[in-house]
Amino acid sequence: MTLVHPWDPKPLKKRVFCAVAGALGMPRRALTFVPMRRAGFAQSDAVADTAFRRAKVVPKSKLGQQAKHAMLRGQYNWARAYFTRNPDCVAAVWNGMTGSRFAFAQGAKDAGARVMYCEIAPFAGRITLDPKGVNFEGSVPQDPAAFAAVPIQDLTPLRDALTPRKLRRAEVSAKAPGLDQNFVFCPLQVPNDSQVRAFAGGYQSIEGFVAALAKAAQHLPDGWHLRLREHPSAKTSVRNVLAPHLSDKIRLDNATDAFAQMRACQAVVTLNSSMGLQAMLFDKPVLVAGRAFYGIDGLVALCPTPSGLNHAFANVASAGFDADLRQRFLSWLITSYYPAFPDGASPEDDRATLARHFKSSPVFQDFDL
């Protein structure tokens, strides 16, 4: 039995993979490159299509696109054949929603092997570990009744530990007035983020979402405005997409940090950003346009269509949420879903923490530890 995963140079990811392997009592094998296999399966083309559609980087040329699709198909074939031959091995993958990592993880799944999806958590000092997937494809229950008996925890430390990221592109550090006015805050996601590519729903992309927001903003009550902020980690700006829509009703503020704007706003709107989850810590109504694991009625207001978004904006002054459900949902996340993984912990402490998590979390009750 071995934990097998695609190699990653980032220290945190290596640390997580080492801790997972140690907690499961397995050696670890890192694949410098996921191998390929020509002989395929009935599902090979469909999986390659999905992996290609979700890929963050797509070649511009037709030949390059065909080569990438063939590579993803071959990687799925290899992973499925490997885990069919080695059914006791566990596949581990970071995120696993796009490209080669999606093909690798899906190959292991289709072979009947166990898969460990890993990711950072939206809360500081914690990580995501899920045998099913991450974000909308993960194991978080979608029935509010699942959280009814969860003991409520002190969530103040989670909110206090949130820190804003610095904008990496000084040329778009626009600032807008009106923090003391009524406004809806929209922290935009990275345009090619896996959550956007896979779960934007009918909005399809950041560009489609921005176009819908521009129309919805016209339905805001008098004296209200929509306030946008580009994602600080985005390599390229989407200001050219935003520019035609900017007005007194729609403002761009990249200079004011996200949490300052979140504290000041009356509501938050997002496709499915982790900031929608974080907004709950500030007791803000959240409007969710895409598909999100926290897109549960009562936690948030769901706006899967442009007409629904228009309606939500028109009635934003009376937007609300189930405060008790939110407290129990967030408490479940930190007690049963996101294990603590603080900086500076020893490898022994990492292994022990994850071993306890695997035994206690309901997410892993069928994982065959």
Calculate mean pLDDT across residues 145-170.
88
Calculate mean pLDDT across residues 88-113.
97
**321 close to 286: Cβ distance less than 8 angstroms:** yes
pLDDT at res. 198? 87
DSSP sequence for 99-137: HHHHHHHHHHHHTT-EEEEEEE-SSTTBEEEESS-SGGG
**265 close to 250: Cβ distance less than 8 angstroms:** no
Kindly tell me if the per-residue pLDDT of 28 is higher than 80. Answer: yes
Read off the pLDDT band of 233 (50, 70, 90). Answer: confident
**280 close to 330: Cβ distance less than 8 angstroms:** yes
Residue 61 CA, chain-centre distance (Å), reads 29
pLDDT at res. 193? 85
Q: How are beta strands 114-120 and 301-302 bridged, if at all?
A: unpaired
pLDDT at res. 323? 98
CATH superfamily of 156-328: Glycogen Phosphorylase B; (3.40.50.2000)
d(CA 287, CA 204): 17
d(CA 202, CA 305): 7
Calculate mean pLDDT across residues 70-93.
98
d(CA 100, CA 104): 6
d(CA 188, CA 253): 11
d(CA 101, CA 91): 10
pLDDT digits 0-9 by tens, 285-331? 999 999 999 999 999 999 999 999 999 999 999 999 999 999 999 99
pLDDT digits 0-9 by tens, 171-223? 556 778 899 999 999 999 988 888 888 899 999 999 999 999 999 999 999 99
Kindly tell me if the per-residue pLDDT of 169 is higher than 70. Answer: no
Kindly tell me if the per-residue pLDDT of 94 is higher than 70. Answer: yes
pLDDT digits 0-9 by tens, 3-26? 999 999 999 999 999 999 999 999
Kindly tell me if the per-residue pLDDT of 152 is higher than 90. Answer: yes
* DSSP state for residue 78 in the 8-state scheme: H
Do you know the residue count of the chain? 369
pLDDT at res. 36? 98
Kindly tell me if the per-residue pLDDT of 243 is higher than 60. Answer: yes
Calculate mean pLDDT across residues 118-145.
97
SS3 state at 26? coil
d(CA 364, CA 130): 8
Calculate mean pLDDT across residues 139-143.
97
Name the amino acid, one letter, at 204. Answer: Q
pLDDT at res. 129? 98
Read off the pLDDT band of 73 (50, 70, 90). Answer: very high
Kindly tell me if the per-residue pLDDT of 253 is higher than 70. Answer: yes
Report the share of the chain in percent with pLDDT over 90: 89
d(CA 187, CA 73): 35
Sign of the torsion formed by the C-alpha atoms of 189, 192, 194 and 195: positive
Read off the pLDDT band of 84 (50, 70, 90). Answer: very high
Read off the pLDDT band of 336 (50, 70, 90). Answer: very high
Compute the mean pLDDT over every residue in the chain, rounded to the nearest whole number.
Answer: 95
Kindly tell me if the per-residue pLDDT of 147 is higher than 60. Answer: yes
**119 close to 355: Cβ distance less than 8 angstroms:** no
pLDDT at res. 125? 96
pLDDT at res. 237? 83
Beta partners for residue 270, in sequence order: 288
Kindly tell me if the per-residue pLDDT of 166 is higher than 80. Answer: no
pLDDT at res. 175? 79
> CA-CA distances (angstroms) from residue 283 to 29, 35, 330?
44, 47, 12
CATH number of 3-120+339-364: 3.40.50
pLDDT at res. 236? 79
Read off the pLDDT band of 234 (50, 70, 90). Answer: confident
Domain positions in the chain: 3-120+339-364, 156-328
pLDDT at res. 173? 60
